[in-house]
Chains A and B, each alone.
Chain A
Amino acid sequence: MKHVKILGTGCPKCKRTYAVVESAVQQIGQEVRLEKVEDIMEIMQYDIISTPAVVVDEVVEIKGRIPSESEMIKLLRS
């Protein structure tokens, strides 16, 4: 099962990102473990400087922008 983390300190962009990832997960119909990371110390462990970021199985795939749904689906399927 894939483990997806959305890193962000709770700004509107981060919330939008979470919604996009959620709907991508629903569309592919696989089980995915979704996690929201809002703690700044934990976020900084991924060495990113702009949020939101999406981490799939501990790899930072997207940083500093909201992904599109099709992009997310591709990431989840790969």
Chain B
Amino acid sequence: MFDWLEHLTDWLVFRVFGMEPGNRLAEAVHFFIYDSVKILLLLMVVVFLMGIVNSYFPVEKVRNYLSRKNLYGFEYLVASLFGVVTPFCSCSSVPLFIGFVRGGIPLGVTFAFLVTSPLVNEVAIGLFVGLFGLRVTLIYVASGILLGTISGMILSRMKLDRFLTPWVKEILAKAEREGERAAQLHLPLPKRIPQIWADVVRILKGVVPYVLVGLAIGGFMHGYIPEGYLEAYLGQKSLLAVPVATLLAVPMYANASGILPVVQVLVSKGVSLGTAIAFMMGVVGLSLPEGMLLKKVMTLKLIGIFFGVVAFCIICSGYLFNMIL
């Protein structure tokens, strides 16, 4: 699909810049140019497509649906799936949490949504397709959905209501299920496009600088670290690699778009994919600043339990991937 780009980059680096093929700097420059163009194109396409999907599933509709329907045990999975199509902004997590609780949606189901929504978002998917290809992307998305579902189920067993802050308990006591809402005004797709496109531009502007820095670092490592160098430390045989990678990932917030390109290079140098995926899930899905925002609605203990359960599930999936991939 990207042969044309490969040729174009070859021409640019080896002919126009006059660099020697095989030279380290040449390889680094080639990697940087080829990957940045490819990833930016893919990011644009994915963010745009996800924007269209999201425009038909605004979060208000999602809440109304989850609150209204009895899903016979499938509500965790459904909430998690909705988490995929709704873009997530960590600053919205508190109003979202309250809104869900107020609508009578059980805590565990709310958590299922809260786990998957940041984990499987449009930027992460776009970067994954560009860096790792479709197969790994599908694995990542599927495990993100499962992770939200399972974490939500585990958390619902723990009777966590008592760890909410007092004012949220009050809201919980008054929670009621919603009725069918009046149908919202139906806009045809062409009329939705300008708004969706504006979002694409805004999102790309926000992540592109990080991606480019990440790719520059990645390009450098690509040219200078020998293949297989990290195999000994972070390959499949190292048992500690998965938990260590997950824990390292938690403090790295907001730079997910810069970190993913570096991780891709690490994988090509011998880090096993399960470890890398666990690390990336930690980066994208668990962030300390988000945890701190949640303090308004949860006690620290509950935030700790929430992060603990999700981290545990991430570590398990890391091991699982190391075994099967």
Residues of chain A having any CB pair with chain B under 8 Å: 8-11, 13-14, 40-41, 43-44, 47-51, 63-66, 68
Contacts and interface: CB of A to CB of B under 8 A. Distances in A.
Interface string B48-77: 000000000011100100000000000000
A41 B98 CA distance: 10
B95 A48 contact: yes
A64 B91 contact: no
Contacts of A65: 195, 199
Given A11-B91, A51-B92, 18 more contacts: A9-B91, A9-B95, A11-B89, A44-B98, A44-B99, A44-B171, A47-B99, A47-B102, A49-B95, A49-B98, A49-B99, A49-B100, A50-B59, A50-B60, A51-B89, A64-B92, A65-B195, A68-B195
A14 B94 CA distance: 14
A49 B171 CA distance: 14
B99 A11 contact: no
Contacts of B202: 66
Interface in B25-65: 58-60, 63
A72 to B, nearest CB: 13
B122 to A, nearest CB: 14
B99 A48 contact: yes
A54 B199 CA distance: 17
Contacts of B296: 40
B158 interface: no
B59 A40 contact: no
B interface majority secondary structure: helix
B95 A50 contact: yes
Contact of B167 (A14, A41, A51): A41
Contacts, number: 55
Interface string B243-276: 0000000000000000000000000000000000
A61 B20 CA distance: 59
Given A9-B293, A41-B167, A68-B198, A49 B63 contact: yes
Nearest to A68: B198
Contacts of A63: 60
B95 A40 contact: yes
A44 B92 CA distance: 11
B96 interface: yes
Given A8-B91, A13-B89, A40-B296, A49 B96 contact: yes
9 contacts: A11-B89, A44-B98, A44-B171, A49-B100, A50-B92, A64-B58, A65-B195, A65-B199, A68-B195
Nearest to A7: B95
B90 interface: yes
Contacts of A9: 91, 94-95, 293
Given A40-B296, A50-B59, A64-B58, A14 B99 contact: no
Given A47-B99, A48-B99, A49-B99, A64 B94 contact: no
Contact of B60 (A13, A49, A68): A49
